[in-house]
Amino acid sequence: MRSYLDLVVPVKRLERAKSRLVGAADGGIGDRRAHADLVVALALDTITAAAAADGVGDVVVVTSDPMLTAVLRTEGIRCVPEAEPGLNEAYRHGATMLGRHVGALQADLPALRTAELAAAIAAADGKRAFVPDRQGTGTTLLIAAAGEPLDPRFGVGSAQAHRASGAVELIGDWPSLRCDVDTEADLSVAAELGLGPRTAQRFRLSA
């Protein structure tokens, strides 16, 4: 029987999320609502692409933001509130809601292609593994070995931390999976790959 990977995707409260992207949605003005709408778009494009990928079973979003929760639930996406503050704590909490084979995905991959995520999951082949970001220092996807704890080590230098934990580094032709977005420059790189529809609309409005 085929094994499916369940994914945890944490998202901060909108007023604290993606602070280096403030102004990217409105030509530098920095309107809070415009920024919140962009963060929601990033998350939605990431999560809907991930949920549609071959090899992905359940997806749970960990967030305590009421606006984001309402939007995601309208889209049929399961949300649970944070139990404790912190990114790694959110990943661990979300993993307890899922099955025996879990992964951690960042919520800022607006160009994500389902085929690339599916290829990375297949390449892991049931082993503990991770996909580094395009700079090679961060992590966009962490996969636990089947039946093992997730043991997330996100933060500065997470690629090395996950490598040191025994995770196999996966390097494939997966530019959209490696393109996380923290700055407007990152968003421009993602736009060259092809943004998801919601992010494309928000970023286009700022031009």
Is the pLDDT assigned to residue 95 strictly greater than 50? yes
Q: With CA atoms as reference, report the closest residue to 138 among 160, 109, 118.
A: 160
Q: What is the mean pLDDT of the chain?
A: 94
Is the pLDDT assigned to residue 120 strictly greater than 60? yes
CA atoms within 13 A on the CB side of 73: 12
Is the pLDDT assigned to residue 2 strictly greater than 70? no
Q: What is the DSSP letter of 140?
A: E
- The angle subtended at Cα 118 by Cα 114 and Cα 120, nearest 5°, is 120
Mean pLDDT of 100-120: 97
Sequence letter at residue 127: K
Is the pLDDT assigned to residue 6 strictly greater than 50? yes
Mean pLDDT of 21-43: 92
Give 104's pLDDT tier (boundaries 50, 70, 90).
very high
Rounded CA-CA distance 168/64 in Å is 32
pLDDT tens, residue by residue, 185-204: 999 999 999 999 999 998 86
Is the pLDDT assigned to residue 122 strictly greater than 60? yes
Domains and CATH numbers, the chain: 5-205 (3.90.550.10)
Mean pLDDT of 10-17: 92
Mean pLDDT of 166-178: 97
- Classify the C-alpha dihedral 151-156-162-168 as positive or negative: positive
pLDDT tens, residue by residue, 132-158: 999 999 999 999 999 999 999 999 999
Left, alpha or beta for 147 (phi > 0: left; psi -120 to 50: alpha)? Answer: left
CA distance to 88, 90, 129, 154, per residue, from 168 (Å): 19, 23, 4, 15
Give 1's pLDDT tier (boundaries 50, 70, 90).
very low
Q: What pLDDT is attached to residue 15?
A: 87
Rounded CA-CA distance 159/169 in Å is 8
Is the pLDDT assigned to residue 32 strictly greater than 60? yes
- What are the b/e assignments for 179-201, b being 16+ CB within 10 Å? bbbeebebbeebbeeebbebbbe
What is the percentage of the chain residues whose pLDDT exceeds 90? 90
Higher pLDDT, 89 or 4: 89
Question: Among 22-26, 61-65, 132-136, which stretch is predicted with the lowest mean pLDDT?
Answer: 22-26
- Which 3 state secondary structure label does DSSP give 36? helix
Q: What's the burial of 33, exposed, middle or buried (CB within 10 Å: 0-12/13-18/19+)?
A: exposed
Query: Starting at the edge strand that comes first in sequence, how are the strands of the sheet with 5-10 ordered?
Result: 78-80, 56-62, 5-10, 102-105, 139-143, 129-132, 168-169
